[in-house]
Chains A and B, each alone.
Chain A
Amino acid sequence: MDAQRPDQDALYARAAADFGPALGRLARAYERDADTQRDLLQDIHLALWRSFAQYRGLSSLRTWVYRVAHNTAASHVLKSRRARTAHWIDLDKACDLPDPGSTDAAREDTDTLARLLSLIHQLKPSDRQVMLLYLDGLDARETGEITGLSPGAVATRIHRIKALLADRFSTDGST
């Protein structure tokens, strides 16, 4: 165990340096409350550090980090009371949601981000996961490796996500 420590620590340090901001965004996408975001983020970092004891380099560091981080966030949501009471929606229904940000202020970047976060918070976790991976710029193959979805299912969801984002944000020139 001790012999593995330097690798484990070094891998974690590298992951935290390379993917720290993405992990922070992930926490914001899963939790609205700032304190809960911080708790979730700490759980993600701890899960990552622990997971590196088992990392054998069979997948890329990025895929491993995203898998562990998304799994920790998904477990966090599934175990919460919210999982039994929330009314999450899928991508199709998200198109029918009223868009609160159609004022001039909505054209501001911060407002666009607020609207985007609001939309993400309403999505069911599996759609939310693909949306976040798309926004982080991961390709379909990596998204499939992280989510476990088939290439066809990933392609369909990304197509719907692009359509949804175009519908919601095209007036901002954001997509």
Chain B
Amino acid sequence: MTDEQPTRLQTLWRSLPAPDVTLSPDEMRARARGLERTLRARNWREYIAAAVVIAAFGWYATLPEPATPLWPIANIAVILGVLVTVWKMRELAPRPLPPAAPTAKLVTFYRSELVRQRDGLRKVWLWYIGPSVPGFLLWFAALWIGDSEALRTTERAIALGTAAGIWLCVSAGVIGVNLMAAARLQRMIDAIDDERT
């Protein structure tokens, strides 16, 4: 507190009717647990999705057809790509803000987090799409090479080309959505910079 007597405006301010919140420690614990559950659920969703993809491609790798050594290699490459992506996602996960840092430090930390996440989203083609590219290219090549001569028809080529096209479109969509999210983060960074000037 200042040693000075409060001014009339300060006294008036301290008389401002304000909303009151009363939460018992048990309610606090319940809310804190809810927040932690939400975070854990998000992490588990990532792990489960990765586990499903890994299990599926692991199973594909054991299939005798297409009959080419490239087939298990392709599936293992896809699995490795998924593992790289999961590792990178963990690395880019938001870090908790320090609760009682001086506000200027908190804003600096928050801005650096936004920059880190923006850069991660901008490079999603590299760490999210990129690691799976070699695996999928090998996968399509193995499907074509491993087929018997009789199956290498124009229709088969069109079907494989269509599947590859869909995969490319989905990848482009993922990149586009992430670039839009990166632009939104950039606007938040700009707002912080504007506020500081």
Contacts and interface: CB of A to CB of B under 8 A. Distances in A.
Q: Is the interface of A mostly helix, strand, loop or mixed?
A: helix
A45 to B, nearest CB: 5
B101 A71 contact: yes
Question: In the complex, which range does the number of interface residues on chain A fall in?
Answer: 35 or more
B1 interface: yes
Contact of A148 (B6, B8, B101, B190): B101
Contacts of B188: 78-79, 83-84
A9 B18 contact: no
A91 interface: no
Contacts of A47: 99
Given A137-B6, A139-B2, A25 B16 contact: yes
A116 B1 CA distance: 21
Contact of B195 (A13, A23, A124, A146): A124
Task: From B12, B13, B195, B196, name the one whose CB has the most chain A CB atoms within 10 angstroms.
Answer: B13
Interface stretch (B50-58, B72-80, B103-111): B103-111
Given A71-B101, A125-B195, A148-B104, A46 B9 contact: no
B106 A75 contact: yes
A94 interface: no
A69 to B, nearest CB: 10
A146 B9 contact: no
Given A45-B23, A126-B195, A136 B13 contact: yes
A24 B18 contact: yes
| 9 closest residue pairs by CB, A with B | A24-B18, A148-B102, A148-B104, A51-B99, A135-B13, A174-B9, A49-B28, A9-B25, A83-B191
Interface of A: 5, 8-9, 12-13, 16, 20-21, 23-25, 27-28, 34, 37-38, 41-42, 45-47, 49-51, 54-55, 59, 64, 67-68, 70-71, 74-75, 78-79, 83-84, 88, 109, 112-113, 116-117, 124-126, 129, 134-139, 145-149, 165, 169, 172-175
Given A112-B9, A139-B3, 4 more contacts: A45-B28, A138-B1, A145-B102, A147-B104
